[in-house]
Structure 1
Amino acid sequence: MNKDAKKLPNNIDTSHTQLIANRYELNQLIGKGGMGEVFLANDILLGGVSVAIKFLSQTIADQYQQRYFAREARISAALSQKSLHIVKVTDYGISEAGKPFYVMEYLSGKNLRDLMPMSLPMFISLTKQICLGLQCAHQGITIDGHLYPIIHRDIKPENILVVPNGMLGQLVKILDFGIAKFLNHSITYSISLGFNGTVCYSSPEQLDGGELDSRSDIYSLGAIMFEMLTNEKPWQIASESLGAWYKVHQFTAPRKISDLQLGLNVPQQIEDVIMACLAKSAKERPQNIAEIISVLDSVVAEEQPVPAPAPMQIGLTDVDNQEDATSSTFSCTPTMAAEVGLSVEQACSQLVWPQSKPIQEIVFPKLIETQTKNITTLWVMLSQEEIANHSVSQRYSKLIFLASPHPMLLWLTVLYHPRYGPKWLPSYLDMQNYYNRQLLSSLVINEQYPVIFFTLEPLHYCAHV
């Protein structure tokens, strides 16, 4: 970061300009909202590693509030180590000015609102990841022998970050776990202070100041899911006043996506689960996140079924994504190439990079179909130089199963060249997903898989297998 970027703007609270906790050097303000301010900083203890520090707007002085903040921050930090989909909290404290702060991993990405509206495949992928993060929190964490289920209380697009990721393409990170609870507990309750401008995502029971459980987060998630697909909120409202929103959440039925006449082809199961999430009574909503995940997985299974063998078909069918499904010819070994009468090189030359995938160095699996069997393949995008360096190499693979926080498989492929060293090609498989279980089944049956390389440079063609 250049010297100018380290200068703090004049409008920043001067109480933040010192070295924080004798460790964090603040650089610049990168975000501001109802809960506080976020700064980019350097962790001097770790050699200047970039971190993000959030200072809460609430100033606390008495020891009870300080102890309560420390407890919530500790729980949030422990939770963040448990799920891939929750921003990691690495430190916390109270500044000399009495403002609580916590230190997070610094991530460069977009918040969910910047991606609205989105395609159905992106919606399913991102929503599933949001659900997995929330599910992990709702199931709770154990500290000192006590189980602490955690409710976010402020789920909104601005608290959901989407960052590029080599394994998943797009990785969801949820921000601010436990912080809303601390703020609501620490201050005298009032609607204007308790919701800080995000009342449009708050559940009816939250607005009434009632006891909350995971179903309150599910209500907020329903509003976000509606918006992800339509770029509109579920309710039409005359004004943005707090009173108007209170009446909407308590008494107004949400609109249906199918009634908006936006030309969207949303599966009925998706619309039904969104409407269920937005039920006024918590008893009428999905009772846990697992119910929403089950619906998402069922839609994926219906949209992307594993095709039955077609005896008269010559070639392969790419079934990874309905939007970019193409018929192509490809085989993973000379024996299989002989079955379809084509060489590996000829078959690969006809494959194209899916439009739904980003142009960057990523790895992802695809299930394709021959006339006799289904084949799991691994698609990789690298620079032409990297492909050339590892086109002739020793190949290793390993499958690592993890049961917590949810069943997942790390599928690791390594290409080793004595001169250029190893090239690691990791792929993450969520084993709660029906399609991923079919991928694994094919791996077990065939005991081998092709690795297909595409060039990072235009025209992104298939360069090697």
Structure 2
Amino acid sequence: MDTQVADTLLGSLIDGRYRIRGRVARGGMATVYTATDERLERTVAVKIIHSTQGPGGQAGLGGFVDRFADEAKTIARLTHPNVVAVYDQGTHAGMPYLVMEYVRGRTLREVLTERRRLNPDEALAIAEQMLAALAAAHRAGLVHRDVKPENVLVAEAPSGGPANLVDGVVKVTDFGLARAVEASTDHDSGNQLMATVAYVAPELVTDGRADVRTDVYSAGIVLFEMLTGRVPYDGNRPIDIAWQHVDRDVPVPSTLVPSLPRVLDDLVAKATRRDPAARPADAGTLLAEVQVARDSLGNPNTHTAMLAPVSDGPAVSQPTMVVAAVRPAERPTWARLPEGGAPTRGRRRAAPDGETDVWSRLAALRTRLVGESNGRLAVAAVVVVLGLVAALGGWWFGVGRYTDAPQLVSMTKAEAEAQAAQGGFTLRYADPRHDEQVPRDGVLAQQPAGTDRILKGGTITLTLSLGPAKFPMPDVVGKEFDLAEADLASAQLEVVKGTARYDDGLPEGMVVATRPEAGKEVKPGDKVTVILSKGRAPITVPNLVGKNLNDARNQIAQLGLVLVEPTYKESDKPRDEVIGQSPADGSGVEKGAQIRLEVSEGPPLVTVPRVVDLPCQQAKQVLESQGFPVAVQFNPEAVARFQNPNENAQVPPGTQVTIGCF
């Protein structure tokens, strides 16, 4: 049976004004509800931040609430058609909340879940409005820091219903929310990464630094997902995904969807450069490039391909992709390029009436240049200038822009980086490999090689050393020699036989030990000494525990074994009784093997108490209470007149004391 926990906020009135009607969504930071503003009689969205977002939960929440309130005021001043408007803010039950514009529609995540990927015209239409919102925020000094499909709302289109994404209205939400939360957690909880790893910019992963170009990178990833239906990186752990943004370039969309035009590849590549300085300066700059790209896709003459004829008929020009033609004038005023900003490359001005006789005009110009001296001089001057330009261009492209690559092989990584930086070169690193001669982080190879020609400021790829290959010594104990030798040889280790020895547990010919031992660090080519078993030794060690030392000594001598000087230890056993032995009884040893014994030095002595002059029965009780057996002589009802041993005598425990009573 399904169960559901009731939401206590449903139906409640917040701040005497907002009646909670239903829950829209619950996320990691907040829960969003629909509510009725009973004062203005309109539907709004109320976002209530979870208590766990404050530093330490409810405790110490005051600073977070103050910073959240300041951030809400900043967002409320951000007025733009593509930004979800913020109407009000406050606290309810000690937790901050925002009252926002209620957008009827779906998130971009829901659209992608349903459609998987979008057509280029749809993706660019959504990207334009998303970037327009971000550009407005950047002009106001705000950085979103968490641009992702979940924070992009696609409202119902005014002209074609929710399915018409080209005409739909896009709104961006959660401006500054991650920034407000991070402002409180930076000080109190270790500067945790407040971003979604699939869209996080490299600089936010490496040093927590974010600016407007961080939003540009995330917007580029969102555009990549809209065009391809997936994000560029995945992994088992969020940290693995985050570091792929740092270590790898985002692939161009056409590697996943080959039919996509190159202009979209260039657009995504520019927005997702790993170096922030190489990206568009802000969302407004990227918006202009998206609009130019959309204009070029909207021109049907720029995306056609000639198909080879199937029969004898002529070739037919077919569009490679169906893209809706969009003119700048058809966009909303907030999304248009500036007047004159539309690209004009590739468009020829139509010839005015009366200028159709091009060939006759060209013929007249040729006659004037060749027939007049000034014309001939002009032609000669043009030829000389063109020759100089060609020579300079040839020198530049063939020689001038190149230099010699520095020699970095055998340097350490730090030395190579310093040398490359001095020459203005960029370094990249290939997969490292082991080397027996070059220590770890030394440069093994470079491409291009030292003294080879390279573009000034170009990139040099280095291969670093991992040092000698080391690995744990394989465990071959208990194996036959042939199998052990094969295992060690496969690990490129040299096998040497050591002196065999007896072993009770392993039969003859089995490996009983190796030097170095299993698990120790070795490298290819190392020598490994293998010690084999000779089987069980011929003499069995007898059980000597409990025997008198002299008896044990005689038995050891009869077996041809050698007794090492015994070790005496305190024990409650009688003196000279064997209490321990090594090797243990039943072990196999060779003739002349050493036997070590632990022998009791007897229990510690105890002091006899004084009982003289005590009544005989009382004296007996005192002695027996301390563990002494008592013998009474003469009259048991009289007084003790003497004792043996005497008072304060040191005797073994259990010694009998005799008392005389009369």
TM score, norm. by length of structure 2:
0.42
Q: Which residue identity lines up with residue 89 of structure 2 in the other structure?
A: Y
Distance 1:300 1:194, change over 3 A: closer
Mapped contact 1:51–1:103 kept (Cα < 8 A): yes
User: Structure 1: how far apart are the matches of 2:106 and 2:322?
Assistant: 26
Distance 1:156 1:252, change over 3 A: same
Distance 1:13 1:306, change over 3 A: closer
2:239 aligns with 243
User: Structure 1: how far apart are the matches of 2:92 and 2:39?
Assistant: 18
1:36 aligns with 30
1:90 is the counterpart of 2:93: no
SS at match of 1:217: helix
Mapped contact 2:151–2:173 kept (Cα < 8 A): yes
Tell me how far 1:305 sits from its aligned partner. 4.2
User: Structure 1: how far apart are the matches of 2:26 and 2:240?
Assistant: 25
User: Structure 1: how far apart are the matches of 2:274 and 2:85?
Assistant: 33
1:112 is the counterpart of 2:104: no
User: Structure 2: how far apart are the matches of 1:113 and 1:434?
Assistant: 35
User: Structure 2: how far apart are the matches of 1:52 and 1:263?
Assistant: 41
1:180 is the counterpart of 2:175: no
Matches within 5 A, 1:47-86: 47=41, 49-57=42-50, 58-59=53-54, 62-79=61-78, 82-86=79-83
SS at match of 1:169: coil
Distance 1:207 1:10, change over 3 A: same
Tell me how far 1:34 sits from its aligned partner. 1.2
SS at match of 1:93: strand
Distance 1:226 1:280, change over 3 A: same
1:137 aligns with 137
Which one has more relative contact order, counting CA pairs under 8 Å at least 6 apart? 1
SS at match of 1:276: helix
2:259 aligns with 264
Q: Which residue identity lines up with residue 264 of structure 1 in the other structure?
A: S
User: Structure 1: how far apart are the matches of 2:342 and 2:6?
Assistant: 48
Tell me how far 1:432 sits from its aligned partner. 3.8
Q: Which of 217, 220, 225 is equivalent to 2:218?
A: 220
Q: Which residue identity lines up with residue 102 of structure 1 in the other structure?
A: L
Question: Which one has the largest radius of gyration?
Answer: 2
1:234 is the counterpart of 2:140: no
Q: Which residue identity lines up with residue 120 of structure 2 in the other structure?
A: L
Q: Which residue identity lines up with residue 64 of structure 2 in the other structure?
A: Q
TM score, norm. by length of structure 1:
0.59
Mapped contact 2:298–2:324 kept (Cα < 8 A): no
User: Structure 1: how far apart are the matches of 2:269 and 2:132?
Assistant: 20
Q: Which residue identity lines up with residue 158 of structure 2 in the other structure?
A: G
User: Structure 2: how far apart are the matches of 1:437 and 1:265?
Assistant: 21
- Unaligned 5+ runs, structure 1: 1-8, 141-148, 308-320, 326-364, 368-375, 379-406, 410-427, 439-465
1:430 is the counterpart of 2:422: no
Q: Which residue identity lines up with residue 254 of structure 2 in the other structure?
A: S
Q: Which residue identity lines up with residue 242 of structure 1 in the other structure?
A: P
Distance 1:287 1:242, change over 3 A: same
- Unaligned 5+ runs, structure 2: 160-165, 302-320, 345-662
Q: Which residue identity lines up with residue 162 of structure 1 in the other structure?
A: V
Tell me how far 1:177 sits from its aligned partner. 0.5
The count of aligned residue pairs is 305
RMSD between superposed Cα atoms in Å: 3.1
Distance 1:434 1:128, change over 3 A: farther
Mapped contact 1:163–1:172 kept (Cα < 8 A): yes
2:155 aligns with 163
Tell me how far 1:294 sits from its aligned partner. 2.4
SS at match of 2:170: strand
User: Structure 2: how far apart are the matches of 1:299 and 1:63?
Assistant: 48
Tell me how far 1:120 sits from its aligned partner. 0.9
Q: Which residue identity lines up with residue 245 of structure 2 in the other structure?
A: H
Q: Deviations over 1:216-269 (max 9, x none)?
A: 11111111110000011112x331x12212321221222222222x34323x23
Q: Which of 198, 204, 207 is equivalent to 2:205?
A: 207
Distance 1:429 1:64, change over 3 A: closer
